[in-house]
Amino acid sequence: MSDPALEAHEHAEHAEHAAHTGDPFIARVSLTIAVLAVMAAAASGLETLEGGGAITQSSEAVLAQDKATDSWNEYQADSLKRHMYEIATVTGTARAADYAREIGKDRQAQDKARDKAVEAEKDRDRLMKASAAHEERHHWLTGAAILIEIGIALSTVAIITRKSAFWFFAIGLGCAGTALFAAAYLLN
C-alpha cells in the first residue's frame, strides 16, 4: 500500500521540475498535477480514516449487542426462577413466605436486566448508524480519490502529448473528484 502524502510530495516535485522547462503550458499542467496530488492525498487519507471508523463502530456495535444478549438471558433466567417460586408458593409449602419475597426480588432483577438490555440495544443501533455513515463517506472518498488520480495521469499525458484536451479532461476529473470529496461530508 502506498503513502498518499509521499505520493503527493513526489507529484509536486515532478511538477516543479517540469515547470522549470519554461513552457507555460507545461507549467500550468504541472501546477494542476501538484494541486490534484494534494487533493488525492487528502481524499486517500480521509478514506482510510473513515474505513477505520466504520470498522471500529461496527465492532463496538457487536459488543453492545453481546451486552444486550447477556441482559436478555439474565432476564429470562430471572423469569424462570420467578415462575418456579410462584409454583412453589401455590403448592403451600412451609417456605411460601420466603418464596414470595424471592418473587419480588426476581421481578426487580428482571426490570434491571430489561433496562440494561434495552439500553444496550439503543447503543448498538446508534453505533451501527455511525458505522454506516463512516462506510458511506469511505465510498464517496474512494470515488473522489480515483477520479483525482486519473486526473493526475491525464495531466501527465497532456505534458507528454502537449495536447490541452487531456489537461482540460484532467481538470474536469479533478473537479468531479472534489465534488465527491465534498459530498462525502455534506450528504452524511
Q: Which domain holds residue 13?
A: 4-186
Q: What is the pLDDT of residue 187?
A: 86
d(CA 72, CA 45): 41
pTM for this entry = 0.73
Q: What is the pLDDT of residue 98?
A: 81
Domain count, the chain: 1
- DSSP annotation string for the chain: ---HHHHHHHHHHHHHHHHTT--HHHHHHHHHHHHHHHHHHHHHHHHHHHHHHHHHHHHHHHHHHHHHHHHHHHHHHHHHHHHHHHHHHHTT-TTHHHHHHHHHHHHHHHHHHHHHHHHHHHHHHHHHHHHHHHHHHHHHHHHHHHHHHHHHHHHHHHHHHT-HHHHHHHHHHHHHHHHHHHHHHH--
Q: What is the pLDDT of residue 83?
A: 85
Spatial neighbors of 35 by CB under 8 A, at least 6 apart, are 174
4 class by beta-carbon count within 10 Å (0-12 exposed, 13-18 middle, 19+ buried): buried
Q: What is the pLDDT of residue 15?
A: 60
The rounded average pLDDT for each run of 10 residues, N- to C-terminus, in the chain (188 residues) is 62 62 86 94 95 95 95 91 83 78 85 94 96 95 96 94 96 96 90
Q: What is the pLDDT of residue 20?
A: 67
Q: What is the pLDDT of residue 14?
A: 63
Q: What is the pLDDT of residue 103?
A: 84
Counting Cα atoms < 13 Å in the Cβ hemisphere of 171 gives 10
Q: What is the pLDDT of residue 84?
A: 85
